[in-house]
Chains A and B, each alone.
Chain A
């Protein structure tokens, strides 16, 4: 099961809603936000599923972008 992390950026006004929606997604762990954004970790069954979940993060209303930072797929290799 790949473990991935993302830097999620959004407007300040959208942050509470984005944090709540991120937290409601299965397989998503929301980290401690910084001034620049919200760190997020995901767990997925495959790298393809990880990519799809990453795309889902970007579709959350208020998210400007969710950029992959880390991807460990040692279970897949």
Chain B
């Protein structure tokens, strides 16, 4: 790169940063239009659930630059650490470029025709025992195609994503609370809230752009309080006003302890509860109806002393949390992600945090909500809305409901009765069946289960003996076990859409 080009790029880079900081300049606009010799196009980032908008600079058919999309309402021009590598990741030396078929124990280059013929023959040998395992990194059209191919084509519901492992408790938490798998908040709440409570959440490292959106308000002179309620210190702790450490599993007691204090102080929002809530005792997805007095009595266990015993937090800190919810003028945002959602009692803690917001009436108002963040770019948009789950069909429909199957069969113009009435295997049942030989094969897409499945050795030691197809962009420990490997397109090499944490697509 010669000096004049370097200086030009530095000016473009400076203009972009200046624009993000409120000083929009003409040269930024020039850069977007390609005065730097690059072709700039928009693309969503695909490296987490935030759903940032990026501008991708292309030169001679290769990605050479990335900048945050200033016009995107999610990230407003910012990138995060992934921006350094999003483009470079396309061009690694070991990128998979040709189909591979295992012959005499060794993966050997093959033609697409040969690979696809082999896959088709194996699937048709036993269509009912073939499965697909994917992830929240499928684009919406990819996930839809897979789901329709399996359920409407093979008549087999054995398709599931790794989102089963990370988001099941968030989904069931929403279903049992709202009756629908949809989040209540959106990112605009981050701009409006007075207090953010991080429930075992570390957005400074996991969702850095969203974290910036909160802490940057302080730089503009706004006051936003952050309470880090966690089992260990993280980078987010550094930006918090209060750090409250609790014993693992103690968060359930904390949530109930806050509710008890709100009622004891007569600071709960009785009108809101009467207008919007039915109280039910847990145990299953429906629950047993519970009168208000019964609920109040049930909460009596959760005295500050009991919460201290279970959760290890002081009465002062429990009061601090409850006071935020008790203040009618304070807008409170609760945030969580895998800390709660991969909790062994994840569904219950989701339910209980909603309870705190319902009881205080801090819900459904700008800046006041309870918000479960996602980790993958399209765990919401693809897996949950499209229905790439063994039990699901698109749009919240269920395999088990005859009317939902009939609707899909009519929409897809396939014979009535094609969609099997029995839900397909969920992720762990799928890998258990592969281990035992009850499933003959699986097509793994956009995920790496031989690295990531829980109890790895118990569920993957026989995978190499099954018909294992892996679509991926680089070699992984799962491709090492594969019978057929298909090279895949990645990020801006293909078209598609994602649905992010706030369900923006």
Contact = CB atoms under 8 A, between A and B. Distances in A.
Interface of A: 1-7, 9-11, 29, 31-32, 34-41, 43, 47-48, 50-51, 54, 64-65, 67-77
A41 B10 contact: yes
A35 B22 contact: yes
B499 to A, nearest CB: 24
B313 interface: no
Contacts of A47: 84-85, 88
A43 B208 CA distance: 23
B290 to A, nearest CB: 45
Given A67-B209, A72-B13, A77 B87 contact: yes
A64 B1 contact: no
Interface stretch (B58-66, B337-345, B427-435): B58-66
B83 A71 contact: yes
A11 B208 CA distance: 19
B212 A67 contact: yes
| Contact-residue size bin, chain B (C-beta under 8 Å from the other chain) | 35 or more
Interface of B: 1, 6, 9-10, 12-14, 16-18, 20-23, 57, 59, 62-68, 77-81, 83-85, 87-88, 91, 208-209, 211-212, 215-216, 218-220, 239
B57 A72 contact: yes
Contacts of A10: 219
Contacts, number: 139
A50 B83 CA distance: 11
Given A47-B84, A47-B88, A5 B22 contact: no
Given A41-B10, A47-B84, A73 B64 contact: yes
B10 A64 contact: no
B83 A68 contact: yes
Contacts of A32: 18, 23
A6 B79 CA distance: 9
Contacts of B13: 3-5, 41, 69-70, 72
A2 B218 CA distance: 31
Given A4-B13, A5-B13, A41-B14, A69 B239 contact: no
Nearest to A72: B65
B215 A73 contact: no
A76 B91 CA distance: 10
Given A31-B17, A35-B22, A70 B12 contact: yes
Nearest to A55: B81
Which 9 residue pairs of A and B lie closest in terms of their CB atoms, listed nearest first? A39-B17, A74-B64, A5-B13, A5-B17, A72-B65, A9-B219, A70-B67, A70-B16, A34-B23
Nearest to B218: A64
B67 A71 contact: yes
Contact of A64 (B81, B88, B91, B219): B219
B10 A3 contact: yes
